[in-house]
Chain A
Amino acid sequence: MSALLKYLVPFALGVAVLAAWQGLVRFYQVPVYLLPAPSDVWAAFVASFPELMSALWVTLRIVVAAFVIAAVSGVFWAILFAQSRVVEMALYPYAVALQVTPVVAIAPLIVILVGFDRIDLALLIIAWIVAFFPILANTTIGLRSADSNLTDLFRLYGASRWQILWRLQLPSALPYLLGALKVSGGLSLIGVIVAEFVAGTGTDTGLGWTITQAMRNLEIAKMFAALGLLALFGIALFAALSALEFALLHKWHESALKKQGGEFSSG
């Protein structure tokens, strides 16, 4: 299948669905407060453009910040876990507890603890909670998955802990970490939106709040516009992380290699 076709097919499908949506809504004269036509959504998007953009900016900032903090702290703790079984034994159950407790349930507590005057910080913490664990769990496994013979070889050559970590364990963990980043990117977005739903308005207004407000005012077209923007943002985040993954892995990792037609020699 050619590269052009790969993009053309889903694009054509999208256009067809939008056209059918537009046609059906107009044909059956569905009221705009139930299901707006794509043209209504577009009109709402253009009309509320400055408001939507500023809301996107608020959400985006927190998502990216929470994601980066989750990535850095997740890798940091994974390294500690990989260095010491005792540290892992002591802390892992709590990391799991943090993960399995539904974030919607913790969110109000965090908002109260942090205070309504610092909603941004509350959103950041909530998004961090959901994005942190996949990075911690996967990176820990990745660090431990270093080839045992290679580890022996490093020891034989008198490698320090630091050399083993930097030259062997971290590169071995890289595919696991990058997989986790793709999951956590989406999760931090979900985390911020859920937190906005729970927290209500803060000093700034993000996309999550825009959506709840639009729903209350029955501005369904604007709600769709905000939803579309969220989806685009999520896709862009995923695409950026996939590009990062490809850049770092395509030269050596199986997951990024093209299948060589029926060739077994490269075992």
Chain B
Amino acid sequence: MTSMNKAFLLSLSAVSKRFENGTQALAGLNLDVADGEFLSLVGPSGCGKSTALRLIAGLIAPDGGTVRFAPAKPETAFVFQEPTLMPWANVLTNARLALDLEGVRRGEAEQRAAEALKRVGLGGFEHAFPRELSGGMKMRVSIARAVAAKPKLLLMDEPFAALDELARQSLNDDLLTLWREDGLTVIFVTHSVYESAYLSTRVAVMSSRPGHIAAEIALEQQATRDESYRLTPQFSDAARRISAVLKESAV
């Protein structure tokens, strides 16, 4: 475990989870997450990354071990691999969802959702329907919906896996901007070594059967990361280290 200057936000200790079909998804999973960090969970498919994320979200309960928050469970948002929008509702109404469910006044909810849409580059698309948007734009709506309610913790389950490289890189940069500006804590599940090296302040490599944290890699915290960072020795070094651990743990 690396030393963190910031306060601890959540902690998983000895967490295990078995599915109804008998598969042991997680066993002995320990993970501490500090306030404000950008943590990537990397690992082969089927290693329980998504299960860990759903446990943190409180969507499923662990069979053993504990998931603790300090002090209480923070406002949490979730972004899935699919945009998961309501097809019958326009972009603004989709982005408003969390605010609507919390009972925020309609006028204020609309204003805050429109603001969030502007931040992800979708100003002017408020009244479009999801079917009219490209995959990347739909994912932007999904992210706007997540940040509109000003969450503390943002959980993302391979959100950009289905996008083309250009859309993915541009969303990576926008996500980093949101993370910095809002002081978010992000837990980001991905199977892309390069994506985790680009985005994270820390990478936790997961190993499968059953899923647990095989290694943690703290990355250098750079003030700004943009396209030029992809060409730096720090970036390739980070990618190499993650890759090495990933290969080791896969054996």
Contact = CB atoms under 8 A, between A and B. Distances in A.
Interface residues of B, number: 26
Given A156-B58, A156-B59, A163 B84 contact: no
B186 interface: no
A251 B101 contact: no
Contacts of A167: 86, 100-101
Contacts of A253: 87-88
A147 B80 CA distance: 12
Given A156-B58, A252-B88, A149 B101 contact: no
Interface stretch (B1-9, B36-44, B129-137, B220-228): B129-137
Contacts of B87: 252-253
A158 to B, nearest CB: 7
Interface string B69-104: 000000011101010101111000000011011100
Interface residues on A, range: 20 to 34
A101 interface: no
A174 interface: yes
B78 A153 contact: yes
A190 B131 CA distance: 38
B57 interface: yes
A176 to B, nearest CB: 13
Given A150-B84, A156-B78, A251 B129 contact: yes
A2 interface: no
Contact of A252 (B100, B101, B131): B131
Contacts of A265: 134-135
A154 B59 CA distance: 10
Contacts of B149: 157
Most chain B CB neighbours (cut-off 10 Å) among A149, A171, A174: A149
A248 to B, nearest CB: 9
Contacts of B57: 152, 156
A153 B84 contact: yes
Interface of B: 54, 57-59, 76-78, 80, 82, 84, 86-89, 97-98, 100-102, 129-132, 134-135, 149
25 contacts: A147-B84, A149-B82, A150-B84, A150-B86, A153-B78, A153-B80, A153-B84, A155-B59, A156-B77, A156-B78, A157-B98, A157-B102, A159-B101, A163-B101, A167-B100, A167-B101, A168-B86, A171-B88, A171-B89, A251-B88, A252-B87, A265-B134, A266-B131, A266-B134, A267-B135
